[in-house]
Structure formats: structure tokens, C-alpha cells
Structure 1
Amino acid sequence: MKNDEEKPLGFDEVDVNHLFELLHHNSDWVWEVNAQGRYTWVSEVVTELLGFTPQEVIGKTPFDFMPPGEAERVGQTFGEIVAAKRSFSGLVNRNRRADGRIVVLETSGIPLFGPDGELRGYRGVDRNISTLGERVLQLETIYDTTPVALCMIDRAGRLVMSNKAMMRLLNHTDEPASELQVSTVMPDCWSQFETDFTLADKGWDIPSSEVTWLDRCYYTQPVPVRDASENVVGLSVTWVDITRRSQAEQKLADANKVLQQYAQHDHLTGLFNRRKMDECLIEEITHTLQKRIPLSVCLADIDFFKHYNDTFGHQAGDDCLRTVAKTLLSSRLRSDDNVSRYGGEEFLVILPHTDKAGAVTVAERLRENIHALRLPHSASATGYLTISIGVATLNSDQTCPEDRPLHMIASGLIHHADTALYAAKNQGRNRVVAAPDDDQRDAPAHPPTQ
């Protein structure tokens, strides 16, 4: 049957001639295809658009008039539409005319169903948008092929649009984007997008964020998409893979942590070093003066350590320092107590919230634990390694001039502990001596004898 004698599906005989007159002289090309996608009826406008007569078009598919690459691209999209049995609009596509020139059409269509509910085909229109269409197709190509993942998410959490990079990100390269629910596939991200919708509704800027998905780290930047009435209908989201940068930052953080470890700890014993000890002592003195609570320090020194080094060698001396440090740390100290290597064979123990009596008790336990190691030392009166300890306390009832620098108070406290340590050495070593409560002299420290 000739094209002008066939009637579009679903039309009655009434006014059919008038209808054909409208269709054949319209600016848009009207057509129908069957369930296999082959043209069963086309208006005569096709000759103006493609240069083919209706009889040359009937029985062919739309993809027969497209360049191969375009036919593959549009065919995949149209296959998704047919599978969903839904209407569509704004499908931009390139077509090759009979004279070889390219024309860009915008296609829209609706599904046609038989009495049994089965899909019988599609009825639609094509409009020539060559002037604008080439630009649209170029933008679509850029959007689809850019290595950065791009997508649009509607308010229901449906992935309305996505490029190839986005589908690879989601690991759904074979599944139509329109069938994906972000709220289901990426529930953690969806909760953030819901917050972004709220911000967009209020007219506020949406901040960027970093998210982790399938062991990759992404920088995301959502931008609100509005309709003609300025209502927010979706979010256009850019996903930039920053996994390498994140890994590099983590390596840098780990390196900084190691450097900080070196900067704050003694390389031989692993205890806090003198620099960190100064910081901790200043901090604890600040708390003491603010909260009116006592603070004590214990300055411990290994007895006759030079003789120990000369007798057993410096390697044994280093092992001895490490053993003493480990023993001091394991002497049932509290979590906020601080043990540091003050220098050489001296160790400082900072005891927050501790008065003189409590500090002496702790110091005696430290001394006993070192003696219990039973490390042979011929210069010691006991025949074993021992330590002497000086104790000093900053009491809560002591007043300090408001203009006195904290580091001066810290220096004075250690000076009193050093003076008590000197006394312990002079009294025979292997003992604990506490500085008197009223001992506030600022005389130079006495270097303790070995």
C-alpha cells in the first residue's frame, strides 16, 4: 500500500484526508514505527528533511539514515526507551541526507499499545535543529566522554543523567542510568545529597565534600538544577577521583607523625625528650595555678653511671638506660603522669594532682623497682644498679607573682628537685629526698656527684 493511502495507527476514517493534509504540510516530520523499529508511515516532510521519498523510507529503521557511530549511540539509547516502554523527547541525532549532507534532528515519541497491552510501536515527530543541534551534540559528546564523572540526580534519588565515567564509577556500565537509585546504590552519599537539596532550597551555597566509594576517594561538587519556575529539581554533581592525592596526603601525614615522634621522643629510650618535657611541665603548671591543685616532679639519676659505662662499655650503658626507662614507665603510673629523659642518665617524672607525700610514695616505688632489676654494678653499695631521686612539689596554697613567666616557675620547680637529688646523693645514694615545703630559693643547682 502506498504511503499516502495508509492511515496512522489509531485513527478513524473521519477527517483522515484533512489530517493527512495537516501532516504532510507541517514543518515537523511525523512518523510511526512498529515494534521492530521499522517505519510503517511517514509524512511527506521527510523528503524535505532527508531528501528521501516516503516510499524510500517505509520499511527502514531510523538508524539506516544515521552514520555508523551515531546509529550505535542513538540505538543504545532508544533500546533503553523501548525496554521501558516509555515516551521520550529531545533525543538529538545526526542523519545523513540523500545528497550526503548531515542534518541534525530532535526526535520525540510516544509508545503505541494494542488491545492486549503489548507494545505495537511508536508515533513521533522529528524537527530540524541543525543550526543548534550540532552544538548540542558536541556538548553531549564532551559531557559523555570527559574523564571526570558527571551526573544529575533528581529529588527522588534517581540518576537522571550520567556520563560514561560516572557509570564506571558506579560499576554499572551495562545498566541504564535511569534505572539506578542513588539512595539505594550509594546510601551514605544520598544522605549528604538530601542535605544539599535542603541548602539549595534555602538559596544557600552547597559546599564541596570528599566521599569514599568502592575504596576510591572522590571530591564532589553538587550544583542545583532549577526549572523555569526556579524550583530545585535536581543536583548536577561532579566527581573527581582524588585517591592518589588522598594517599599522598596520608603518606605525608604518616611521615609528619614520624617526624613528630622524633621531635618529641628520645631516640634511645623512646621516652619524651627534654623539649616535650618542657611543654608538658608548662601545661601542668598552668592547670595547677588555675585549679589550685598540687603538682610534683621526681628527678631520678642512675647512681655511678659513668663507672657502669666504663666497666661494661657504652653499648651496655645504652641497654641499661633503655631498661631503666622501661621500668619507670611500667611502675604503675597513671595515664596523665609523664616520664621523660631529662638528659644523660637523668629522668624526670611529672605527677599532676600529686602532693609531696604522694610523690615520695611514687618515688620510693620507682627506686625499689630499679633495685629489683638486680643489674650487677660493682660500684654500688648493694652490688646492683640503683637510682637516687629528688622530689619537689608546687602546692596549691603557694602563690606566685602574676607576672612571673611560667617557664621560670618550671625552672624553679626542677631546681628544687635537683637540689633534693643532690642531697640524696650526698646521703649515700639509692634513696629519695623531698625538697622542703618552704624551700623557694633560686640558688644555682648543685651538680650531683656520680
Structure 2
Amino acid sequence: MSDEMKLESADGLLLQQMASLRDIIDNNSDWIWEVDAQGRYVFSSNKCIEFLGIPPEQVLGKTPFDFMPPDEAKRVGEQFAAIVERRAPFGGLLNRNIRPDGTEVILETSGVPLFDNDGNFRGYRGIDRNLTSLDQSPGQRLFQLETIYSNAPVGLCFIDLQMRYVTVNDAMANIIGLQPYEAIGRKIGVFLPGLSPLLSNALELAMRNETTPDREFSVPGKNQVFFVRIKAACDGQNQLNGLSVAMTDITSLKRMERALRESQEHYRNMVELNPQIPWTADPRGMLNDVSSRFQRITGMTRQDILADKWIQSMHVEDRRAAVQTWEQCLKTGAPLDIEVRFCHVDRGWNWMRIRAAASYAPDGSIQRWYGTAEDVHERKLLELKLVKANRRLEIQARTDSLTKLPNRREFKKVLSHEYMRAKRNRTPLTVVMIDIDYFKHFNDHYGHLSGDACLRLVARTLRKSLKRSTDVVTRFGGEEFAAILPDTDLKGAWIVAQHIMESIETLGIKHSFSEFNRVTISQGIATYRPDQDPDIEDQSDIVSAADEALYLSKNNGRNQINAMPVSIRFNPL
């Protein structure tokens, strides 16, 4: 065989191998890509057609942030900039992307840095995995992200049913030793293996509609002890979708308790427990001795404390239960252990733990009670803070962080309730879909800060335009809002929509890139009438009709109102 024929055979084999490699890349379940040092795509497999809805040639030259909503591009951009600065590999970076048809896709991005032969950084090569079909829908995941207070003093996170981190705040990230975005999507057992059995048990209890008791958890190798509170989280249909976890460092408190236990034996002849404030009582429960520290705390004299007079310094709300428990102990000889509030001369009411144990005579009768009063005020305050933090999380889960309106998750919940009420009472129910005209142009030319300010102002105006307490306006997503008007027929809804339109026009927000030269809105109305729409069995049909009416308003030139009758549709809410 001549050299020329051998060369042609080698070239053919190389072309076959390259075609095979390209076929493997294009048929991989993940999207393979490469970006340069400026973050612009220089290579893209054909998987971008499925993921982003556009071919590779429309991806090349653009950055990943060009396909994200503005707020998401800002959030992910800041995280990616920190990664690039360290020239570090990364994984599990979740991000939202918008296809040309308006649908949303959630991608999990991983990548490694690339360097040339001289060691100069030249970009990243990586893969994207489509997570849109996971149990956590994009909307749910966003709302869950909004429930985490990144600056909370306790570690907070949300765990899905597969025991993966969905959201992590800074304090929790510090506990597991990662950045928040590095933990998202990863199994909790990788970082805190000892916590996995506790969470698995909590999921089993939640599935049986049982609550998980508060626990203490020690981090192996760190000598840290945490107070762990776990609550089940459900979606708008009351279906379990994960766990809310709060971890508070109580290492100092546990060290104090351990020190008390270690010193008990030393003081056992004097009192049953190591006292902070020791006291003694006769068999009838009358105090006959108490430390002067109790006098300094309460401001009461010794004569005002002895016998049963100390009860008067107790908070009136705690007094009855405490006396009943004490009397029961006196009858049975059982140890006393209660937490009550006493008057404090410096800080008002102060939580204290009162404990006592009986000392018995040879004949088995009680001859004296030895007791201690322990200051647990800080722990009680911490428990109250945890309660408040959980309440804030509950509110955050229902509220859009930018506009402070109820979010889409709350919209679904309210609509479901009002739909059932309308169906039961045979009263009309109206949904109005509202969209800001040319908002993308507004954002592009005036900037995202101005866009956010516009959204907040429009949201406030929409809220003021609804006069009844039963009417609800929510942020449906992006520049789109949705109003729920119970007991409102089409005529009444049209009046409300016209009032909203006029209120937005009165704002007079300049918009040079709109044909109307100001910010305007388009609206779509759909009214459900139980008597006339007996076949409607799903409230999503109302939303779909209102959305079609909104689409008609946009197509007919915007800045107008249209209505659409409710009929059975197959589009999910």
C-alpha cells in the first residue's frame, strides 16, 4: 500500500473518530459547552436546542447570563465572578433560564477552568443538567429560596424529599464549611452524615402527620452542639415537599450543663443539684433559707421571700401552674422542675428554672427540700427568636420579596379557596391578569434598578386600586400580576380593571421606548359563574381564560382590556 493510500486511510479513520465523538457529545443527556475568559460561548453541543430552545449558532458569542431573567442573571453572575476570580472548578450551580417561547428551565451547571500551555487562563469547559422535571418545580424552588434569611443568626436550610439541600443560608453554610451555592443540590449526608438519620425519621413522621420533637445534634470532630428544630413543609395542595431545618449553636449552654453535672457530686451533701441560687424548704414547702442572690435579683427582702411569700414575686401567668406542681411534689415526694418568670430589678421579668429534691429521714418521711433557682433567660429568649424566625419564614414563603405582594404560590392557595367558596355559594369569581407593556424595553434602556422601582410602584398602585378587603392582587411572575375578585361578575370586574388602568396611567411613568411614551398595562378578564359554567371542575381553567384574554390585549396593540369566557382547558395552572 502506497504512502498516499495509507494517509488517506488514516484521515478517513480520524474523520470517523471525530464524527463518532461528535455523535457522543450531541446525544449526551447533558449539554456540553465551553466559554472563553470573558464568559462567551465558543462551543456548544446540540443539546442547547432541547435546553434553551435555540441552535448552537445562536448560542455562540453570547454569555450564559443572556438567557436568564435579569434578577437571576445578577445573582448567578455574582457567584460565577467569585468562582472565576479563584480560577476554581465548580458544581451544582443552579440557574433559571427563559426559552424563546417564554417557558422556564432550571439548569445545574458544573465546570472546570481551562489554561493554555503557558498557564494563562482561557475560560471554562462544563456541562449543564436539566433539573426542570425534578420534584421541585422552578416556582416552588424560588419561593423556598425566598424563605431563607441569609443573615439569620441561626443556621437555616430547606431539605427536599431526596435529602438534598434546596436552600442554605450563610450560617448553615458556615456549619457545613461551604459557600451556600456549593451546597445546593447536594446530599446532606455528605457534610453532616450524623444528621441524616434524624432527618429521615422526621420525613417518616411528617408523612404520618406527626411532628418531630426538637433535638440536639453534635458535629463530629468539631466539639459543637446544636439545638435542631425540624418542621414539615407542604405545598399549596398540602402535599409534603420537604423539611425546614433550623440549627442553633448551644455549645456554650451544653458546656455549662456539663459543668453542673460534673460538680453535682461535690455539692451533693449540701443540695441535690449544683445551685446557682440555693434554697431550702421544710416538708410543707415553706422556704426557710435562700441565697442573698435571689434577693438581689428580685429586689425583695429576705422577710418578703421566706415561707410562701416568694410566690408573690412570680409572674401572675405562671403562678397557678407552678403552685399546683409544687403542691403535687409535696404530696408525692417527686422532684420539682419548673420554669417560671420572676420579677428582675434590672430587666423586668426574668425566666428561671426552679428545681428541688426531697431529703428523707430514716423512717422514710420527708425532712427537708433542697432546691436551686437557675437563670435560663437567655435560652428562653433564644427559643422565642426561633419561633419568630419560623414565623418570618412562613411569611416570606407567601410574599414576593421585591413588591411585597403575595407571590404565585399564595395566588394558587387563595384562588383554590375562593374557587371552592364560589362553587359552594353559587357566586361569581373573577381573575384579572395584568401585564406591564414593553417592560423588557424599559428594563433594557433604563436599567434594572429603575425596572425594580417601576415594579414596586405598579404593585403599590394595584394594591390601592382594589378597595375590598376580600380582593387580592399578587405578583404572578416577572412583570405580570394577577388579581382575584370574589363575588364579582364580569360587569363589576370590567369596572375594577378600568379603574386599575386609569390609576396606572395617572402615575405617568415615562417610557420613551413605548408607543404610548409612558408605562401602560394590558389586562385579561375571566369570570367563573357556577350557574352558567357547571362543567368547570378546575380553577386553572379560569386562569387560562384570563391569560388568553391578556394575550388578546397584547396582540391587539396593548394598553387595553379584553375578556374571555371560561371553558374547559388543558393548560395547568
Distance 1:305 1:153, change over 3 A: farther
Residue identity matched to 2:314: M
Please name the residue that 1:442 is paired with. Answer: 569
Distance 1:369 1:158, change over 3 A: farther
2:545 paired with 1:411: no
Q: Secondary structure at the match of 1:376?
A: coil
Distance 1:142 1:198, change over 3 A: closer
Q: Secondary structure at the match of 1:216?
A: strand
Distance 1:161 1:282, change over 3 A: farther
Please name the residue that 2:444 is paired with. Answer: 310
Question: What is the percent sequence identity of the aligned residues?
Answer: 33
2:488 paired with 1:354: yes
2:271 paired with 1:142: yes
Q: CA deviation at 1:299?
A: 0.7
Residue identity matched to 2:319: W
Q: CA deviation at 1:195?
A: 4.8
Q: Tell me the alpha carbon deviations over residues 105-140 of structure 1, each in whole angstroms, 9 at most, x when there is no partner.
A: xxxxxxxxxxxxxxxxxxxxxxxxxxxxxxxxx766
CA distance in 2, matches of 1:237, 1:431: 77
Which of 448, 453, 462 is 1:319 aligned to? 453
Distance 1:381 1:139, change over 3 A: closer
Which of 168, 182, 196 is 2:310 aligned to? 182
Q: Could you tell me whether the CA contact under 8 Å between 2:273 and 2:371 is conserved in 1?
A: no
For 1:370-385, what aligned pairs fall within 5 Å after superposition?
370-385=504-519
Please name the residue that 2:473 is paired with. Answer: 339
Q: CA deviation at 1:410?
A: 3.0
Q: Could you tell me whether the CA contact under 8 Å between 1:393 and 1:413 is conserved in 2?
A: yes
Q: Tell me the alpha carbon deviations over residues 162-195 of structure 1, each in whole angstroms, 9 at most, x when there is no partner.
A: 4566555534465574366135433614333455
* Unaligned residue ranges in structure 2 (runs of 5+): 1-266, 361-365
Q: CA deviation at 1:235?
A: 9.9
Please name the residue that 1:421 is paired with. Answer: 550
Larger RCO (CA within 8 A; separation ≥ 6): 1
For 1:198-347, what aligned pairs fall within 5 Å after superposition?
210-213=339-342, 214=344, 215-219=349-353, 239-347=373-481
CA distance in 2, matches of 1:239, 1:360: 67
Q: CA deviation at 1:424?
A: 2.1
CA distance in 1, matches of 2:534, 2:330: 59
Q: Could you tell me whether the CA contact under 8 Å between 1:298 and 1:391 is conserved in 2?
A: yes
Q: Could you tell me whether the CA contact under 8 Å between 2:336 and 2:357 is conserved in 1?
A: no
2:321 paired with 1:192: yes
Residue identity matched to 1:387: I
Q: Could you tell me whether the CA contact under 8 Å between 1:150 and 1:166 is conserved in 2?
A: no
Q: Could you tell me whether the CA contact under 8 Å between 1:299 and 1:391 is conserved in 2?
A: yes
Q: CA deviation at 1:149?
A: 5.6
Q: Secondary structure at the match of 2:524?
A: strand
Q: CA deviation at 1:148?
A: 5.6
Q: Structure 1 stretch 335-344 or stretch 169-178: which is displaced more?
A: 169-178
Q: Tell me the alpha carbon deviations over residues 243-274 of structure 1, each in whole angstroms, 9 at most, x when there is no partner.
A: 12122223333433444444332232222222
Residue identity matched to 1:442: R
2:497 paired with 1:363: yes
Q: Could you tell me whether the CA contact under 8 Å between 2:275 and 2:372 is conserved in 1?
A: no
Distance 1:317 1:142, change over 3 A: same
Q: Tell me the alpha carbon deviations over residues 174-227 of structure 1, each in whole angstroms, 9 at most, x when there is no partner.
A: 557436613543361433345547878999x9997643333322345789999x
Q: Structure 1 stretch 335-344 or stretch 286-295: which is displaced more?
A: 286-295
Distance 1:245 1:353, change over 3 A: farther
Q: Secondary structure at the match of 2:404?
A: coil
CA distance in 2, matches of 1:274, 1:244: 38
Q: Secondary structure at the match of 2:462?
A: helix
CA distance in 2, matches of 1:261, 1:313: 29
For 1:87-102, what aligned pairs fall within 5 Å after superposition?
none
2:526 paired with 1:395: no
Q: Tell me the alpha carbon deviations over residues 392-421 of structure 1, each in whole angstroms, 9 at most, x when there is no partner.
A: 2233434357xx6xxxx2322210110111
The structure 1 segments of at least 4 consecutive aligned residues displaced by more than 6 Å after TM superposition are: 197-203, 205-208, 221-226, 234-238
Q: Could you tell me whether the CA contact under 8 Å between 2:272 and 2:371 is conserved in 1?
A: no
Q: Secondary structure at the match of 2:507?
A: coil
CA RMSD of aligned residues (A): 4.4
Residue identity matched to 2:271: I
Q: Could you tell me whether the CA contact under 8 Å between 1:150 and 1:165 is conserved in 2?
A: no
Residue identity matched to 2:554: K
Rg larger for: 1
Which of 147, 170, 173 is 2:298 aligned to? 170
Q: Could you tell me whether the CA contact under 8 Å between 1:390 and 1:434 is conserved in 2?
A: yes
Distance 1:144 1:239, change over 3 A: closer
CA distance in 2, matches of 1:308, 1:302: 10
Q: Secondary structure at the match of 2:465?
A: coil
Q: Could you tell me whether the CA contact under 8 Å between 1:299 and 1:347 is conserved in 2?
A: yes
* Unaligned residue ranges in structure 1 (runs of 5+): 1-137, 227-231, 446-450
